Amino acid sequence: MGDIEFKSSPEFSLGMEIELQLLNPDTLQLVDGISPLLAQTPENSWIQPEFNQAMVEIASQVCSNIPELEANIVAILRDLKTRCQALGMTICTAGTYPCCDRFASITPIPRYLSQQNTSGYLADLMMTCALQLHVGMPSGDVAIDIMGRLKPYLPILLALSASSPFWWGHDTSFASFRQRFLSSMRTYGICPTFKNWQDFTNFFATAQNAGMFEIIRDIHWDLRPQPDFGTLEVRVMDAQPTIKESMMLAAFIHSLIVDMYHHSQGKQTEFLLTPLPWLIERENYFRASRWGLDANYIEDEQGNSRPIRNIVKDILNVLAETADTLGNSSYLFQLEKRLDQGASYIRQRRVFESTGSVKAVVASLVSELEAELAIKSRQEAVAYGWL
């Protein structure tokens, strides 16, 4: 029942997708600019439409390591910025657009229009951006095994990536309000647990028959297999305002998944986080979205909790050898520094507290990305804190 071929890809190869906002550079308001942008972009390119016409998604090439992925993303974003400037637009990104004051204009593609019809009023409010990482898997069974092992770490990734404290001009008190909003949508959120690839394909056949999904891409879980690409896709993260933050998270996930695979093959013995009951999973999600890096994570069925910052440091210690082998150590070093220096949701609030202006928050997001894209030398990269 429900056989789906999983097209294997090179083990632990990498691909990244980033959703960005299209803005008027003077007013910093959203611009429904995806149609003219697509019109001047070659077919089968790195640029893709998103649900909202004021947003764009970029997709990397398949890369073998994080430095290669980083170089590809930098090149794509520089090209995107040049194309947007020619059309009178600029770009930035975060989990939400901080000062939205209008409903979304839905991109007129059949799949998106169908989603709008199903989601109703929620579709009008869909002003969110994500960072998504694909990691190559040798088989569907391995993808499902790693999916189950990675699931307890999703609240950790949510806390590390949180960049959406503002919603429609208001401070929501959440570190990631994007996650709270998407949890109201029918196909988003925590993924189920499956025994193996056949178990997943049986589920999907049932879901298709029930009219829940038509294709795999209709599943928007925070973690999902992608059989056409041969990957496991990590989708829980808020979009990051800077490239270096995206790469820190990618290196963390890459190292974690490789270490998990070694563990499944009996080559490693230490495994920090284990599967938890659904209600505890939901609570950990809420805590991570509400308090970000200051949240306490429930570790076991007895309700024992520890600060997420401490858990991240423990994970980084466990991953040190694997990260070194993969060439990811410098990225994880930067990630550990960021635990003390502040994630994006913290930086955004600092800007708002000092200016009283949500528009100033948007300006800071634009400036952060512009500063990175202007870097041309190693010396500049060191001064910026890139290296």
- The answer to whether residue 313 is domain-embedded is yes
Average pLDDT of 99-126?
90
| pLDDT, position 387 | 52
- The answer to whether residue 302 is domain-embedded is yes
Which CA distances in Å does 284 have to 108, 158, 159?
Answer: 36, 10, 10
- The answer to whether residue 5 is domain-embedded is no
- The answer to whether residue 96 is domain-embedded is yes
More confident residue, 59 or 385: 59
Average pLDDT of 262-282?
82
- The answer to whether residue 172 is domain-embedded is yes
Number of domains in the chain: 1
Average pLDDT of 224-242?
98
For 189, the domain range is 14-384
| pLDDT, position 1 | 44
pLDDT in tens, 40-50: 887 768 999 99
Beta carbons within 10 angstroms of residue 21's beta carbon: 28
CA pair distance 150, 148, nearest whole angstrom: 6
Residue type, 70: E
pLDDT above 80: residue 277: yes
- The answer to whether residue 138 is domain-embedded is yes
- The answer to whether residue 81 is domain-embedded is yes
Place of tokens 């975060």: 94
pLDDT in tens, 51-103: 999 999 999 999 999 999 999 999 999 999 999 999 999 999 999 999 988 99
The CATH number assigned to the domain holding 220 equals: 3.30.590.20
pLDDT in tens, 308-367: 999 999 999 999 999 999 999 999 999 999 998 889 999 999 999 999 999 999 999 999
Percent of the chain scored above 70 by pLDDT?
Answer: 95
pLDDT in tens, 131-186: 999 999 999 999 999 999 999 999 999 999 999 999 999 999 999 999 999 999 98
Is the Cβ–Cβ distance between 218 and 187 less than 8 Å?
yes
CA pair distance 123, 264, nearest whole angstrom: 40
- The answer to whether residue 132 is domain-embedded is yes
Residue type, 183: S
Is the Cβ–Cβ distance between 280 and 301 less than 8 Å?
yes
Short-list 106, 105, 104, 101, CA closest to 27: 101
| pLDDT, position 120 | 92
| pLDDT, position 341 | 86
Average pLDDT, the chain: 93
